[in-house]
A and B are shown apart, each in its own frame.
Chain A
Amino acid sequence: MLFNSVTFICFHILALLLYWVLASQRLRLLVLLLSSLVFYGWYYWPGLILLSITIAINYGLSWAVSYYKKQWIFVIAILINLCNLAWFKYATFIFDNIELLLSKFIPNIQMPEINYWLPLGISFYTFQFLGYLTDLKRGEVTFEKSILHFAVFKCLYAQLIAGPIVRAKELLPQLHKKQYFNFQNFQKGFFLLIGGLCIKICTADVLAQYVDYAFGTPEELSTLHAWLSMYGFAFQILGDFWGYSTIAVGIGLMYGIVLPDNFKFPYRSASFQEFWRRWHITLSIWFRDYLYIPLGGSRTKGLIYRNLIITMTIAGVWHGAGWNFAIWGFCHGVLLVLERKLGTNKIKLKGIKLWLKRFFIFNIVCLLWVFFRAETFLEALAFFKSLLIGPYSFKISRLETLVVIIALFSLFSYRLGRLFIDHNFTKLSLTKQLLITTGLILLILGYAEAKLDFIYFIF
């Protein structure tokens, strides 16, 4: 089920009503679990089987990890989850590359063809399992005995498919505590839901039409068209993912559950380090805590750079099974290393210098998005050719709309995004609250088109 569909809105209202009408916390959790399973199965019901099995197996594994406290059990538990992810997400990629490599030595070699479907949100829920198991091992959380609480923690529909990646110590205590209906939280949740939908529908989906065309025909683009499309994609992916995360946090709040923020104006970053502290925050924290630090983090000076590059390359591959994503992650890793080496991430700038640096970082980030968006490495190269290599042409055909959308998005998203923080919205006067909400709902009504998937669904 998609957040941006009428079915979801009806479903969410029903689930909310049922949740708040029930007085018992266990029954409420049961409502959350069942609605999460319906939500997940709606898209492709066989996915439910894998999700249920994964939850059951991980419940057993987490019990074993916490009960026996053995390193090898922990390693097996991690490997089982990684194998599950590798099989469903990376098998084709791995086999294709093995075939390519071996074909040089063994002609006519054929690896098995894997035609499995990609289970929705598998990367997200696998990472949540891995994080929980590691926290258990480290003694940061205790084993969750109730299978109901455990299952809701793993598949709460607000964040099941595309995050934010919630940690056990953040969510489980909230599930144990009986929630009281708080109008202010409910209102903020409602506003976040509307705001997120508006960002997704009125900006990301509108930009998608232009961007899809441009990346589909990179050789036909004028230089100006290519640059505008690149910026277009930068805002499309922000709108898409930030919109989703905002909706998720809003849904959580409507149930009285606080989920972590995932975005904090990433394109205002003055360094790559800052960018990763503002973009997909929960994923960055996950990689920091469960990969970068275990690798040695910044404790051994000589290994910082290696750890950074490994972490970022894996983060790239996490996004998708393809060399494009690996290159994208690797480049970010290299940039983080360069930044550290030059010490530019620590320089405090003000005024015009700060804005110039932000502009520079933004453009590099946008250029790297080309690897992320292009279907293949060759397609990315073709796009770079249109962007950077002549003959330069500045023909514009119907691109004024794209310029207007990008300009409006950057202004609109900043103004709106400030209201998403803390209780900035609920502190506004009632008239302003009403005007803003009405405006957003009207925009959603006007621009809601055929439902477009969220980009991060495939990760």
Chain B
Amino acid sequence: MKLFFKSSNSKQKALPYFGFLLVIFIALELLFNTASVIFSNTTSRVRLKSAMFELRGDTEVLFLGSSRFKDGISPDLYSKHFLEISGKNWRSFNGAITGANIERLDYFFNKAIQKKGLKYVVIEVSMPQLSRKKEDIIATEKDKDLDAKLSGFFAEKSKLIQWRKALRLDNLKNAPAILFSDYMQGSELYRQGIVSDLFNDKKTSVNKELLKPWTPLVIAPNTQHMSIDTADYSVVFNSFKNIMQKAKANKVNVLLVVPPLANNKKKEESHKEVLNLYQKLANVTQQKIYNFALLDISERYFRDKDSHLNKQGRDLFSVRVANLMAQNLIKN
């Protein structure tokens, strides 16, 4: 031992340093194991919102969709209005995310449907929502070089390493959203327009006059043959079929809604083929689709050219969706 420890003084602080460092990381590992629901869900938008929904108290209505729904639905206003017209005090949660796609919708829906007390799921039908992307909900190591293998090995053994990206400041800031999910409604996150809304928009007084142009067209299921190449959208149709089956089995109602479009997006997303696709979706799911995309809605209700509604637009749209749901409930 003399060979190694020439100076006994120098090790006085260095030994406890390494000892305590080990203790700290064992403690952190334990923390990551016990609170893995927080750390494992902060690194992905869809997992974050899904976890928030899972952890919050009774929630009867869930909105799923892209950033158009995320900005377009105010759960607070929706619930308030819904209570007024239906007498039902239903809590709602906005689970829409930026960059939605069919895989993300599948993931969220399959988790959400297990929640007790869920009565309604409002799903956005739009081109972003029906798009397909590479699976990115759970990151998987594709490289098979030694470094990737070693990383995979350590990630398997340690939750701290597995969920290490939760330690990034931009992910860590999501942790309170999971911890306090009961107090959150889902729209607070990632709202780019929130600052401009706060300063630019006046309070909306939702009235019948203003709501008039917000009456959706209904795409009802029919038996007409659609000339559409279904192979491209087979995954989408299968996903929606699965959603409808699961919803039925769990006695959850589904409302399909096409959100409003800004003028420049109308050409892109309202041409014949897109409308045929929506019709086909209505036929496959045997469900009405409420289409706001073709309405003549003023540009002043949008905060940008990508069809994101501003505060005024959001209030009107939320109220209109609440009305639709109330009508549907009465019919059912």
Contact = CB atoms under 8 A, between A and B. Distances in A.
Contacts, number: 76
A110 B169 CA distance: 55
Contact of B17 (A10, A433, A443, A445): A433
Contacts of A5: 147
Nearest to A447: B168
B147 A187 contact: no
A37 to B, nearest CB: 17
Q: Is the interface of B mostly helix, strand, loop or mixed?
A: helix
Nearest to B23: A434
Interface string B1-41: 00111110011011111101100110010000000000000
Given A6-B154, A180-B4, A437 B21 contact: yes
A14 to B, nearest CB: 12
A187 B14 contact: yes
A284 to B, nearest CB: 33
B3 A23 contact: yes
A443 B167 contact: yes
Given A5-B147, A434-B21, A451-B147, A445 B13 contact: no
B55 interface: no
A182 interface: yes
Nearest to A188: B14
A72 interface: no
B151 interface: yes
Contacts of A446: 164-169, 171-172
Contacts of A184: 7, 10-11, 13-14
A146 interface: no
A5 B7 CA distance: 33
B150 interface: yes
A448 interface: yes
A183 B10 contact: yes
B167 A182 contact: no
Interface residues on B, range: 20 to 34
A186 interface: yes
A397 B146 CA distance: 38
Contacts of B184: none
B288 to A, nearest CB: 40
B262 interface: no
B161 interface: yes
B10 A182 contact: yes
Nearest to B172: A446
B20 A430 contact: yes
Q: Which of A6, A434, A451 has the most CB of B within 10 A?
A: A6
Given A182-B7, A446-B168, A438 B147 contact: no
Contacts of A187: 13-14, 17-18
Contact of B160 (A181, A426, A433, A445): A445
Contacts of A443: 167
B196 to A, nearest CB: 15
Contacts of A434: 17, 20-21, 24
B151 A6 contact: yes
B296 to A, nearest CB: 31
Nearest to A8: B147
Contacts of A23: 3
A186 B5 CA distance: 12
Given A430-B13, A433-B17, A438-B21, A180 B150 contact: no
Interface in A56-101: none
Given A183-B11, A187-B14, A434-B21, A10 B150 contact: yes
Contacts of A447: 168
B150 A430 contact: no
A436 B17 CA distance: 11
Interface in B124-151: 146-147, 150-151
Nearest to B15: A183
Interface in A214-270: none
B147 A7 contact: yes
Contacts of B14: 183-184, 186-187, 426
Given A438-B21, A446-B164, A451-B147, A180 B3 contact: yes
A210 interface: no
A20 B17 CA distance: 19
Interface string B219-260: 000000000000000000000000000000000000000000
Nearest to B154: A6
A360 B329 CA distance: 71
Interface string A423-459: 0001000100110011001110111100100000000
Given A184-B10, A186-B14, 13 more contacts: A7-B147, A180-B5, A180-B7, A183-B5, A183-B14, A184-B7, A187-B18, A430-B16, A430-B20, A434-B21, A441-B25, A446-B165, A451-B147
Interface of B: 3-7, 10-11, 13-18, 20-21, 24-25, 28, 146-147, 150-151, 154, 160-161, 164-169, 171-172
7 contacts: A7-B146, A7-B147, A430-B20, A434-B21, A434-B24, A441-B25, A445-B160
Q: 4 closest A-B pairs (Cβ-Cβ)?
A: A446-B167, A183-B14, A184-B10, A183-B11
